[in-house]
Amino acid sequence: MSEKLQKVLARAGKGSRREMETVISQGRVSVDGKTAYLGDRVEGNEQIRIDGHTVVLKDKEQDLCRVLMYNKPEGEMCTRKDPEGRPTVFDRLPPLEGGRWVAVGRLDINTSGMLLFTTDGELANRLMHPSHKVEREYAVRVFGEVDEAMLQRLRGGVKLEDGPARFQKITYHGGEGRNHWFHVVLSEGRNREVRRLWESQDVQVSRLIRVRYGNMEMHRQLPLGGWTELGLKEVNYFRKLVSLPPETKSKVKVDEKAIDNAKSRRIRRSVKKHQHRTQQANRRRRT
């Protein structure tokens, strides 16, 4: 049976379906030597190229949906390569054969916390799309005077430059003086939306940490800069959340705990090794 070209390219790890639709529309994809167009379907035995480079296709049966949870530190860019040479969230991830990790949304350079990656471009696209209303929860420290009237405005909705926005839920988590911690919940991921909502009330955000995506909370024992692969049950939670069929296999052992003490120590050692390599590389560049 034939499939849409963008779906086949996404399964090959070239990006999300939406990204592949853009690439096809730009005339950068060819099928058996002919320029492809949006809406084309393929059987899977054709020679497909992007920018002249052959795409290694995957059968549905070979395609294993994998999901990583990453604890992003501040100072990392959510891009594959940064022209200024700054570290990126992809630098620490495990290599893949015949595919690539796709980030589920972005966190800006000054935001830390939970970031998901997957090998399934369609899963990433659906989790990001506002139509699925997947909740994101953030811990945010704000500086300034906050009163109940302000919180009611943020819950009810305020007008930003790209349209109205609001927090679905705001919970106070303590503070002193003019510094206060709140947990806020959104179901969309517009650029810098949490910061812009608070700034619309003349309040400054001094710390921002994503702590939950859907009902999945950041694993407490996962250190900053560390990643862990989610098990089959967790992967299928996200697939069910966006109406995708369940996965049947996993790289993670069924009886493996999310993160036990031994695994946490291994992750921390790996993080330290990466930091050491990065420091050495920076020193070599400076000399």
Q: How many CB atoms lie within 10 A of CB 8?
A: 25
Looking at the fold, whether 20 and 38 belong to one and the same domain comes out as yes
Query: Do residues 158 and 109 share a domain?
Result: no
Q: Of the candidates 213, 237, 269, which is a domain's last residue?
A: 213
Among the three residues 179, 213, 247, which one is the final residue of a domain in this structure?
A: 213
Domain co-membership, 166 together with 228:
no
Whether residue 78 is found in the same domain as residue 119: yes
Structure confidence at residue 22 (pLDDT): 95
Confidence of residue 253 (pLDDT cuts 50, 70, 90): confident
What are the strands, taking DSSP E only, across the chain? 3-4, 29-31, 34-35, 41-42, 48-50, 53-54, 67-72, 102-104, 112-118, 136-143, 158-160, 163-165, 169-176, 179-186, 204-213, 216-217, 227-229
**pLDDT score for 100:** 81
pLDDT of the residue at 14? 83
Same domain, 207 and 221: no
Q: What is the domain-level CATH number for residue 243?
A: 3.30.2350.10
Q: Are residues 11 and 144 in the same domain?
A: no
pLDDT, tens digit, 9 for 90 and up, residues 35-69? 999 999 999 889 999 999 999 887 665 678 899 99
Q: What is the pLDDT of residue 2?
A: 86
- Assess whether 226 and 248 both reside in one domain: yes
- Per-residue model confidence as pLDDT tens digits over 220-249: 889 999 999 999 999 999 999 999 999 988
Same domain, residue pair 220 and 120: yes
Mean pLDDT of the chain: 89
Instruction: Say whether 40 is catalytic.
Output: no
Q: pLDDT at residue 110 above 80?
A: yes
Mean pLDDT computed over 4-25? 87
Task: Give yes or no: residues 41 and 173 share one domain.
Answer: no
Q: Are residues 33 and 146 in the same domain?
A: no
Could you list the residue range(s) of the whole structural domain that residue 52 is in?
3-58
Indicate the pLDDT class of residue 287, thresholds 50, 70 and 90: low
Domain count, the chain: 3
Catalytic residue, from 32, 82, 108, 260: name it.
108
Mean pLDDT of 155-184: 93
Q: Select from 156, 228, 32, 11 the least CA-distant residue to 98.
A: 11
Distance CA 121, CA 100 (A): 9
